């Protein structure tokens, strides 16, 4: 016997009775299946999530955690221009080369940005990077090439 071989037994499931609809519903008269008194027996019974009967709710008892994490933040790794002096003269540098050199751990979704801090002393070829205005100026000043497609 397997789960796909099982069949329903006819008449096994009885239709549930709707509470609070009077004698004609078949669920008793007077209290209509809601029991005696109390909040749950009333019409329009609706408790907000987290309500604990008047006790201070859990979310208010816990310490407040401040701050805000922007869901639309664009994750960009930033690298200082001076860090590119580790590469050999005339090398083609791309984000994957930075991982191999141990400068960054991974390439984020929105890429790697070169910041204009420090000084570039070697002529390199840069491929697939984002640049600040100052960084772009310093890269071109050092005689390096930008090969963005």
Tens digits of residue pLDDT in 107-126: 999 999 999 998 999 999 99
- Pinpoint the alpha helices (H) of the chain: 58-61, 95-101, 133-141
CATH number of domain containing 134: 3.100.10.10
Please indicate, yes or no, if residue 101 is contained in any of the structural domains.
yes
Please indicate, yes or no, if residue 48 is contained in any of the structural domains.
no
Tens digits of residue pLDDT in 11-58: 888 888 788 787 877 777 788 888 888 888 888 889 888 899 899 999
| pLDDT at position 138 | 93
Q: Which residues contact 70 (CB under 8 A, 6 or more apart)?
A: none
Residue with tokens 């299946």: 33
Tens digits of residue pLDDT in 62-112: 988 888 889 999 999 999 999 999 999 999 999 999 999 999 999 999 999
Q: In the chain, how many domains are there?
A: 1
Please indicate, yes or no, if residue 5 is contained in any of the structural domains.
no
Pair of tokens at residue 26: 């078949």
**Distance between CA 48 and CA 60 in Å, rounded?**
14
Please indicate, yes or no, if residue 25 is contained in any of the structural domains.
no
Side-chain-facing half-sphere of 116: CA atoms under 13 Å:
12
- pTM here? 0.54
Q: Is 15 exposed, middle or buried (0-12, 13-18, 19+ CB in 10 A)?
A: exposed
Task: For residue 137, give its domain range.
Answer: 77-146
Q: Are strands 112-115 and 125-126 parallel, antiparallel or unpaired?
A: unpaired
């Amino acid at each position: 016997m397997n789960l796909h071989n099982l069949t329903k037994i006819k008449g096994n499931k009885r239709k549930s009775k709707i509470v609070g609809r009077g004698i004609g519903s078949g669920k008793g008269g007077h209290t209509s299946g809601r029991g005696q008194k109390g909040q749950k027996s009333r019409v329009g019974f609706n408790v907000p999530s987290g309500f604990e009967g008047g006790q201070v709710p859990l979310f208010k008892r816990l310490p407040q955690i401040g701050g805000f994490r922007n869901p639309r933040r664009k994750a960009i790794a930033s690298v200082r221009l001076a860090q590119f002096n580790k590469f050999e003269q005339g090398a083609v540098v791309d984000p994957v080369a930075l991982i191999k050199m141990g400068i960054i751990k991974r390439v984020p979704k929105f890429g790697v940005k070169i910041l204009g801090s420090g000084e570039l002393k070697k002529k390199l070829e840069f491929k697939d990077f984002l640049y600040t205005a100052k960084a772009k100026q310093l890269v071109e000043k050092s005689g390096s090439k930008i090969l963005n497609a």
